Structure 1
Amino acid sequence: MGQLIAAIDEGRTLTQERKRPDLAARLDSAKKKLDSRTVTAVVVGEFKRGKSTLVNALLQTAVCPVDADIVTAVPTLVRYGERPGLTAYRQANPGQDPVGFPAPLNQIAQLVSESSEGPEEGRLQSVTVEVPHRMLRSGLSLLDTPGVGGLDSVHGQLTLAALSAADAILFVTDAAQELTAPELEFLQTAVSRCPAAAVVITKTDLYGHWRRIVELNTSHLATAGIDLPIIPVSSFLRLRAAQRPELNQESGFAPLVEFLATAVVVPGTTRAAATIAQEVDFVATQLAQESDAERVVLSKPQSRPEVLSKLTKARDQAAGLTAAGATWQQTLSDGIADLVADVEHDLQSRLRTVMRDVETIIDQGDPNETWGDTEVWLRRQVAVAGVANRDLLIERARDLGERVAEAFDLEAGTEVEVELSQFSTDLEQLELASVSTLSMPGGRLASLMMAGRTGIFVPMIVFSLGSLFLPVIAVAGVAATLGAGIGGKLLKDERKRQRTYRQQQAKGAVRRYVDEVAFVMNKDTRDSLRKTQRQLRDDFQERAGLIHRSAAAALTAADRTAKLPPAEQTARAAELSLEGNRLRSLRSGLREVAMAGARPAIGAAAGIGVGAVAHQVIDDDQVDDDD
């Protein structure tokens, strides 16, 4: 697979010659990561904009269900597989990772539109479909997301949070209307999280004025300061092009395929190649340490005692890296503890601000009339606070990884990937009290009847006593006036009392809801950071073990070589010279991959350049059109 694959193969040969199966296993792991690399393009947009149809049209395969009565309810990931297959991921218990279950492909419509929880199987989290398609063989994966249901809604905010892990965004709208203000606001935030993005305007075959919509959207994006390509397409014509290839150009999909190839696949796989190159270079460094030690004792016989002393010291220092009290271990442990405290404090601060704002809103109105709007606003603000808190968690965790790497004294630290549960599901499951639970016991009618009875009872007493001394007509008038005044005052006070009661109940409901959100998110924060801590600990611990074994092997090899007879030393020096050349060539090639961004070929044994990658993806697409 080009330069990087050749480097891995050469490195493995060297590890076998040096009898280092531990380093060979490291290379095998790097090879697996390279083979399983993925570049994910997330398809987002409002409901019924043609997202699922767009995915089907790209692949010219009926993967995602697109029936008029079906609304995608769970994320559907479409990726490459040697054979067609479907896996449904369900969360059996809260707080646990979803478990995958194979399912027949003909059940995908039922699965992706599922919205209820199965009490026995658990809540459906996502669906993965594997398709043996040429375009996906490049590592490209397409994630068809549920409609965001209002881009400024809770779902829209949570979708934005997920885009940080995406390699590219395809924002789908249709030619029925121009971009709205919420869509533009969503795009501004989305691009800040994932710069590789494009606006795809679907259904150009249905709306004759689609060119005018493209012009308006271009103007809107320019005004908003958003520099994104706009790609108008007809999924219907693209699907028909499978039988009539001449329709492919008219469908407008060629620019979209080129965008995916050049702006998504190439950069994504370049980053993956650079990461793998660093891993292989680490192995090459360990091999070079042993080779260099032998060459030094052969080239400078007079300094052998000093060299062996330095190698002994290096071995002892490397042994210290594996100890529980190593500096990097302390940095990691203290950093995780500080990070948990800071992230929880940040969340608490954000939620307290939300609480103050929502209490002000409740005080300004009657929850009986405004609770629906208040609930929508509250859920969105809680989602915004949660997303911001997650962003802080990820950023600080990456900083911690760099500090641990620095304490470990590595030139390139381990890339930190914080494993977060889909807290969108957790938040959606949290219930907020309904408006019916905010009223006083007995209901509004009982309170009004009590006030009315009091308003009638007082005038009756006045009438009974006053009729003994005054004319009946005069007493009746006074009683009626008094009853009306007292009754009106009582009714007004009762309505105010009920409103105050509902406001207090609403504040209590909000407080319980926010407390539940904090409980769920703090639990997830701790779980995520524990996973991150284990990830960093295990990786650096493995590196420490490899470094220690390399230092010990270098000392042993240097001591052994120093004791060889002169003739054997000469032969060994020649062998080491050749090995040194191989290692220098190997590391030089790795630097080129890491810095110049050369990427491995897609599905080919021979190497191809970066430019050829894009052409291969596009050529594969044209082959599909001709099939």
Structure 2
Amino acid sequence: MVTAIWLDVLDEIARTCSAHGRGDLLQTVRQKRVQLLDPNLRVLVIGESHQGKSQLINAIINAPVCPVGDGRTTVLPTVVQHAEVPSAAVVQAPPPSAPGRSVGTVVPVTGERTPVPLDQVAAGVAGALGRRPGGGAAHVEIGLPRALLGAGLVLVDTPGVDEVAALGAAGPTAAPAWADTVLLVSDSTRELSAGELTMLLHITRSHPNVVVVQTKTDLVADWRAVAERNRQHLADAGVPAPIVPVSAALRLRAAAADDKQLNAESGFPVLIARLRQDLAGKSDRLARAAVGVIARRVVEQLAAPMRAELASQEAEEQSGPISRLHAAQREADELRRCTTRWQNTLADEMADLLADIEYDLRDRTRQILRTVEETFDSADPLVTWEAFQEWLERSLVEAAEANQEWLIRRCDWATRQVAGTFVRYGADVLPPWSMTMPTDLGDRLPEIERPHIDRFTPSQKLLTGMRGSYGGVLMVGLATTLAGMSMINPLSVGVGALLGGKSIRDESRQLLRRRQAVVKTAIQRYVDDFFVQVTKDRRDAVRQVQRMLRDHFTALTEELQEAIIQSFRSAKQAADTEAAVREQRQREIRTRMTRLAGLFEQAQQLTGSRPAPASLGPRA
């Protein structure tokens, strides 16, 4: 019943691997099932070179089965197991590409066996005998009739390595995953090296039963201090591995002399007792621990892609349809702000344009009027009117053309200012039309009429001279009568002539000033009429431009809004669809992870103090 508990958990792990489509993990679980059901205890002896691994195995079984020496003696893994008759053979697996071999397998496959004479075992272990070029991984199998081996103990000697990866390169026979117990061998001449601690860290993460064997205690007087420091190193590194100090030399000497006390001093009774305990507890304690480890490994490997998928879905949520939906919403908000901006910009630019154009026209007409004032302060309209009329018409046309040209430039400027608010939507937002200078601007101006100007006729001059001379003749004539002269005399006549001429000149100047004032007033009215008419034309043109720009950018805004709405609808539909699919997938992932958590909890209960769970189902 005890066996059924961990076996049912292991079978449930296998079914979970199959449900997740992980054939590689399923193969590993099945191989672990075969290994745990095997009654033999497979002990893997690993460590760096020249630490006494081969001598350790010889001392355990009390037989010089593994070659030892100062050189590199162990090249191929050596499997020492029970046999009724001593035998040795080199077993070479098929090439890695051979048909029928599973990728990533850790269970030794049946290969080609080449018997090796017992006196040539050293050559076989050294890789110099029985290997076929181009074949797969090879190992040496040695059979001996020993009671400890007959009880089910299988010892595997490995080449000296300082990395776990090197063990896998040596072939599946030396893989820690195929071992029930792992012995890491390190001699007493030094403390555990960094490579050995790293190897222990890697192995203990995936193997529940690791022992550090400290050899060659007979060569170091303070081997106990070395062992204590090694225990501290293991504790600091978090490696849950006990240390067993031994001396193979004392063990072999004690066996030869049948000295029990010397055998006890060798430390091997403790190591062998540990191996016997592991052998007896393989079907229960070791199996439970192994199932807990493989459950953790399987759960981690199955949960990792699901956690990654959840994380990727969260990332896709930020960059997928949801992000496009948010982007469409932001674009809609930005378009509303853009609409407000371009409308305000258009209104402000048109208002500024009207004020500037009217001021410009007013300034130009004022300059013309100042020239008129200066001209007719001295000129006689009767003499200069024809030339002046031509100059005035030309000046007004030039003023109107300059004002119109500036209006065109300002309208183009205002158009580009409004279009600048659409810069994020592309450069092709300007209207397809443009203002031009009219060719008949002079014909559209009001015709100037010559004002009515009074002339100083000869009859008027005669009458004016007579009125002026009469007073002079009378005044001087009365004065000369006192002197006995007649009233009409040369003196009175001369004074009358002078006063008459002066009257004519004064009247002529007054008539000139009246003519100049009349012309100035007439021209002022004409220029005012010109200003009113041109201003009205400019205002009409500006309003027309404003309406055209309003209609153009309104249509452009509606097109952009329609595109954004369509994008928003598509993004929302895609987001809703993806959200539903993603939510369903997340529920499936969470359900699977919950099951994995339950499976892991059940596997951990096998080694915990809580009662073991009930059977998970029928055996596979």
TM-score (normalizing by structure 1): 0.39
Larger C-alpha radius of gyration, 1 or 2?
2
Structure number with higher relative contact order (C-alpha < 8 Å, ≥ 6 residues apart)? 1
TM-score (normalizing by structure 2): 0.39
